Amino acid sequence: MSILVTRPNPAGKALTQRLIDAGKIAFQAPLIEITAGRELPLLDAKLKGLKAGDCVFLLSKNAVSFANWQLNQLQQSWPDTLSYYGIGQSTAKDFQHLSSLPIYYPEQGETSEDLLNLPALNQVKDKQILLLRGNGGRELLAKTLSQRGAIVDECECYQRLFINYSPEEFALQWEKAQVDTLVVTSGEMLQQLFDLVAESKKAWLLNCHLIVVSERLATIAKTLGWETVTVAESANNDALFHALI
């Protein structure tokens, strides 16, 4: 098995090195890079505009790290009068480590659907909710919470920027390296990978064993033409490592 990890740094680099340390043949080719979001300077004002009992949703570990960095620059701390929700356990643990505040999160899964299934989120009428997120991505959370009567605002704390690879060189390099297993952790990266590889190399791409992080991604992958797809238990590196091992 020769593995190509496409998730962005630093998580992608850490997973790749962990696989190598375990004796696996592993490479990394991140499909996106993460930079500060365009609305990050507005974060402090948006948090101060919330009332006690209002909600803040942290939709990725990147949202946690960039938002916490911004507050540190201003010598501000996370308000302790708000209710915090994390998209999954790994995001929640990062937030707890940095803030020492309680945070709610789904015990199983790390998707918008899992988060929306929390019983408390059925009673959000007239609450203000601030979503800390990246650019693009799904709109399910904002749409559903608004339908449930919440007043939803967003703050783009980080940006995902596509890395430009040569389509010819990309597929040729990894086919020569005998890559037969791919790790992809988001829908936009899955589509980017599919579009990146030229038609002449699509057979190699679609014959690879694909490791994804949700049933939704598995469905997208099968629609695109992948046949062998494994869903890791969650989106964190531990779950991906165990799926690969």
Closest CA to 63 of 146, 133, 163: 133
Measured distance CA(103)–CA(140) in Å, rounded: 21
Cα–Cα distance, 59 to 94 (Å, whole number): 12
126 exposure class (CB count in 10 Å sphere: 0-12, 13-18, 19+):
exposed
Q: Tens digit of pLDDT for each residue in 27-59?
A: 999 999 999 999 999 999 999 999 999 999 999
223: enclosing H helix or E strand: helix 215-224
Give the predicted TM-score (pTM) of the model.
Answer: 0.79
pLDDT of residue 6: 98
* 186 and 162 Cβ atoms separated by less than 8 Å: no
pLDDT in tens, 150-179: 999 999 999 999 999 998 899 999 999 999
Strand boundaries in the chain, DSSP class E: 2-5, 25-28, 32-36, 55-58, 83-86, 128-134, 151-162, 181-183, 209-212, 229-231
C-alpha 136, offset from chain centre: 12
Q: pLDDT tens, 193-207?
A: 999 999 999 999 999
Q: Is 145 exposed, middle or buried (0-12, 13-18, 19+ CB in 10 A)?
A: buried
- The residue among 202, 231, 207 whose CA lies nearest residue 219 is 231
The pLDDT value given to residue 51: 95
Does residue 116 sit in helix, strand or coil? helix
Q: In this model, does residue 186 exceed pLDDT 80?
A: yes
Taking only the tens place, the pLDDT of each residue in 63-121 is 999 999 999 999 999 999 999 999 989 899 999 999 999 999 998 888 899 999 999 99
pLDDT digits (tens, 9 = 90+) for 7-18: 999 899 999 999
